[in-house]
Amino acid sequence: MKNIPLILMGCGGVGRQLLQHIVSCRSLHFTQGLCLRVVGVGDSKSLVVTEDLLHEGLNDGFLLELCRVKSVGESLLKLLDFGKCQAFVHPESQGKILEIAFQLGKKTGLVFVDCSASSDTVAVLKQAIGMGCCAVMANKKPLTSTMEDFKKLFIYPRRIRHESTVGAGLPVIASLNRIISSGDPVHQIIGSLSGTLGYVMSEVEDGKPLSQVVRDAKSLGYTEPDPRDDLGGMDVARKALILARILGHQINLDSIQIESLYPKEMGPGVMTVEDFLNRGLLLLDKDIQDRVEKAASNGNVLRYVCVIMGSRCEVGIQELPKNSPLGRLRGSDNVLEIYTRCYSKQPLVIQGAGAGNDTTAAGVLADIVDIQDLFP
């Protein structure tokens, strides 16, 4: 039985779903000769760790109770009364993680799983990888930090998995790495990498006002609590940057041209969320509708996409043929078209659910299982 210890950082929707997946897949993994042993779970404030790092993980009942506690917004420290564990509060918790990484990294191996949405994990990730640990990420921020940080994270590339940073559970990174390894040059990537913006653009195509569509998307749970976090395009830009860096382009976020769907005068520092939803969005309806009608007159549709061509990387609204894979996109799916020498006339198309806690957590779990060959 191959035993893989792991520490999870991030107890939000994706992190909790991952723990539930690990518990529910115990019998499947047993038949595969694999045991995922969760030795620690942390959030921005604290960390809980098993008492016996070398031999035991936090048991499944404890992990499910942890999911319940965090789902109602309570502290991990509440779990001290539930089972055998040690607890550490920030910043002591960060030192404890590195202590565990040093203890297990070269002895049994350790996977550091980052399902947070924080930039603070970059320093820990770099040090843990240097100690012989592996890293699996759903968090985009470490890979979109400085080029120096990016290079240090990939100093041992086989120890890194990050499929869920771009397309949740879709095989975007794996497919791109296979193409690069084959020597097939990538000429262009164009993709709709935001389920929220994919939904918004396909709905306004049907003639619905942008203001109504955004409010509907929020009520359906497609957007962040403040929809401007989606409409500003930064999430798509981070995903595009990761893809561009995989292709070898040494660029930073400020190198990417980003089109926001709202002006600075409607930004979070100027308008409240309520004002934006009830008043600001109405002022944007006409411009988007005019653009939709102009595209339609050309036989095209509008999609919010990232475009990577050579060293050029931009994010924003593009007119695309209605019968193209991106033009046929409906709802919240992600679609990516990859053009290479081999895929020149007909691009490689990757399409499917590119968002959601369940899908993203499944992608993270697949990455953890995929890394098992590095463990004794």
Q: Which residues are catalytic?
A: 239
**Residue the block writes with tokens 């957590």:** 361
* Pair (332, 241) in one structural domain: yes
Give the separation between CA 110 and CA 228, rounded to whole angstroms: 37
Confirm or deny that 11 is annotated as ligand binding. Answer: yes
Tokens read off for 207: 């003639």
* Pair (365, 265) in one structural domain: no
* Pair (20, 43) in one structural domain: yes
Confirm or deny that 349 is annotated as ligand binding. Answer: no
* Pair (338, 363) in one structural domain: no
* Least confident range of 179-188, 233-242, 348-357: 348-357
Mean pLDDT of 31-57: 94
Among candidates 328, 139, 173, 299, which has minimal Cα distance to 244? Answer: 173
* Pair (79, 188) in one structural domain: no
pLDDT of res. 16: 97
* Pair (151, 211) in one structural domain: no
* Number of domain units in the chain: 2
CATH number at residue 258: 3.30.360.10
Confirm or deny that 345 is annotated as ligand binding. Answer: no
Residue 284 has pLDDT above 80, yes or no: yes
Tokens read off for 343: 């895929």
Is the residue at 303 inside a domain? yes
Mean pLDDT of 68-77: 94
Is the residue at 313 inside a domain? yes
The DSSP code sequence of 237-290 is HHHHHHHHHHTT----GGGSEE--SS-GGGSTTTS-HHHIIIIIGGGGHHHHHH
Confirm or deny that 356 is annotated as ligand binding. Answer: no
Q: Name the 3-class secondary structure at 80.
A: helix
Is the residue at 174 inside a domain? no
* Pair (225, 278) in one structural domain: yes
CATH number at residue 68: 3.40.50.720
Looking at the whole model, is its pTM more than 0.75? yes
* Pair (152, 185) in one structural domain: no
Q: What is the pLDDT of residues 222-235, one digit of tens each?
A: 888 899 999 999 99
* Pair (63, 193) in one structural domain: no
* Pair (159, 31) in one structural domain: yes
Asked whether the beta carbons of 150 and 143 are under 8 A apart, the reply is yes
Confirm or deny that 10 is annotated as ligand binding. Answer: yes
* Pair (224, 283) in one structural domain: yes
Work out the percent of the chain whose per-residue pLDDT is above 70.
100
Is the residue at 316 inside a domain? yes
* Pair (370, 278) in one structural domain: no
Looking at every residue in the chain, the average pLDDT score rounds to 94
Is the residue at 176 inside a domain? no
Q: What is the pLDDT of residues 315-343, one digit of tens each?
A: 999 999 999 999 999 888 999 999 999 99
Is the residue at 339 inside a domain? yes
Asked whether the beta carbons of 109 and 86 are under 8 A apart, the reply is no
pLDDT of res. 90: 87
Confirm or deny that 280 is annotated as ligand binding. Answer: no
**Strand-pair partners of 319:** 302
Residue 68 has pLDDT above 80, yes or no: yes
Amino acid at the residue 318:
Q
Query: Which range of residues forms the domain containing residue 347?
Result: 181-354
